[in-house]
Amino acid sequence: MTKDELTAWALANGWQMMGGYLSLTKPKAPTVAIVRLVLKATVASLEIKTPAGRWEKVAGESYTRIIPDPDNGMPGGLGLATITGLTALMRDNKDRQIFAKMKGP
């Protein structure tokens, strides 16, 4: 996957831009990022915020080694499918974005 393809996938699956990074937020505090994708020139890194407030890198891979899953399109190589609770967090973020769009003016 390229940086642009990864960005498009993330934005379509509940991630949002916060502080210059693709981020997932806490379900009860949608302004606080707890997971982020750091997309650099040649590599993508997945970072999770620790309880102490620091970002900890949990996975990283070059774009050439990130391959989308043929069934659901989830990028392989970053551990997104193996981290407990991450898919549920993505679903919660996506649902919140969809319901926010449904609210009237």
Query: pLDDT digit string (tens) for 82-99?
Result: 888 888 888 888 888 888
pTM score, whole prediction: 0.83
pLDDT above 90 coverage of the chain, percent: 53
| Domain definitions of the chain by residue range | 3-102
* Beta strands 75-76 and 67-68, pairing class: antiparallel
Enter the tokens of residue 68: 């989308």
Enter the tokens of residue 95: 């649902």
The whole-chain average pLDDT of the chain stands at 89
Query: pLDDT digit string (tens) for 22-56?
Result: 999 988 888 889 999 999 999 999 999 999 999 99
* 49 φ, ψ (degrees, to nearest 5): -80, 130
- Supply angle C-alpha 14, 16, 21, rounded to 5: 130
In angstroms, rounded to a whole number, what is the distance separating the alpha carbons of residues 19 and 105? 27
Give alpha helix (H) positions in the chain.
Answer: 3-12, 86-102
